[in-house]
Amino acid sequence: MKRKAIIVCTSVLALSTILAACGNEPAKTAQAGGEKAQPPAQKVKLSIWHNFSGDDLRAKAVRAQIEKFKTAHPEVELDAQAIPPDGYRQRLKTVAAANEMPDVFYTNAGTSIQEFYDGGLIQPISQLLDKNPDWKKNFTPGAFDPLSFDNKVYATPLSGSATSLFFYNKSLFDKYNVKVPTTWDELTTAIKTFKDNKVTPISLGNKAAWLAQSSILSSLADRVTGTEWFLKAAKQDGAKFTDPEFVQALTNMKSLADAGAFQQGFNSLDNTQMEQYFIQGKAAMMIDGAWALTNMAASGTKEQLDQVKVTVLPSIPGGKGDPNSISGGPGGGLALSKKATGKQLDAALELIYTVSGPEGISAIAHSNSIVNYKIDLDQSKVTPLFFEAFNLYKSVKLTPVYDAYLTSAGTEAINNGLQELLIGGKPEDVAKKLQDAQVKALGK
């Protein structure tokens, strides 16, 4: 027994010696060659902020592309933050004031991205477009305009902006024998008929304050004033927001609330609640943006969606604007921080291309989202409602969205002013607040 134990111990000792020798071999070799073992390469740190935080199909499509980049680039330590839309713009303003922008971030077109450009916070992505010419040439004409400065592109639109689509529930219109309105008088008649039958005429959720401005006023006011007047007023160059035509547009807006067009508590409901209220058949109409298409596709049943049709806002008698139009244009995109350099810059550009390139844009389009990009849409992968809206978007004139041209102070003034207007405020007072804010912000 003792002899057997000695043999086992000797074997173990021998094996341990061999393993130790093997374990030390690389060190000996490295030492013999005069080289030092290299530490593992550090990961490239990259951050991205966006507001695609919801359960709608477009948000899921964007997040899926971000995850695809993350999986394909293990060398990158990606910090991706999805921030709810209602508080997103303010969060960006806060970090911008401290010069602590994320490396890549979603920004709206027009005034929003211009503020980052004017502040010296972003850098162009023109080199990415030049590197991928087929991608560049497939964007629709004018797609880069509100995202470019000094002939350089600072972001590409992830989707097309159509903020004033006029949705209506065909089954409710048929049930109460109501004509789909094409004029303001017909809209007034429709509101009264639905109101008399205890059906909410128009679903509205203006808790975040921007919706009444972006989706209703932007298009309604253009019907009254015409586009040229608004562009002059926004620059305070030959027109003022206290002019009679704009006061008239606000008066038209107020008349909707005075007629009882909206459900109770509309200033306490958000955009999602507004859309749910409509898709469930509790309201006959809704004036909303193209984002509603992907939201309703995600939450509505086929039976509910089959009842919904889409058209343009009714015309207004004596108006100077084109009635066959909707407010909109190229949407926002992913901007690039001025601070990104070297490997971080390379990774940031690759991330932007993964989300915004042909594959990403196709995924967004097939999530029932309008895009400013030439694409072969597979009709079997989208809802009939989206296909109808997609063709409508291509057939009408696009007019300015107010918050894409107003200063931040002007936008805040009209957003808050519309909340007041719709619960009894005076058009003249709202017009003056907007005028004063815009003048002060522009320094005129």
> What is the pTM (predicted TM-score) of this model?
0.82
User: How many CA atoms lie less than 13 Å away from 114 in the CB half-sphere?
Assistant: 14
Q: Residue 331: name the closest of 271, 378, 387, 291 by CA.
A: 291
- Residues 6 or more apart from 418 whose CB is under 8 A from it? 206, 209, 212, 213, 217, 253, 430
According to the model, what pLDDT value does residue 8 have? 35
According to the model, what pLDDT value does residue 35 have? 55
Q: Using 50, 70 and 90 to split pLDDT, how confident is the model at 286?
A: very high
According to the model, what pLDDT value does residue 280 have? 96
Output helix, strand, coil percentages for the chain, rounded to the nearest 5.
55, 15, 30
Q: Using 50, 70 and 90 to split pLDDT, how confident is the model at 36?
A: low
Q: Using 50, 70 and 90 to split pLDDT, how confident is the model at 39?
A: low
According to the model, what pLDDT value does residue 282 have? 97
According to the model, what pLDDT value does residue 347 have? 98
According to the model, what pLDDT value does residue 86 have? 81
Q: Residue 253: name the closest of 269, 240, 266, 239 by CA.
A: 266
pLDDT > 70 fraction of the chain, expressed in percent and rounded: 91
pLDDT > 90 fraction of the chain, expressed in percent and rounded: 86
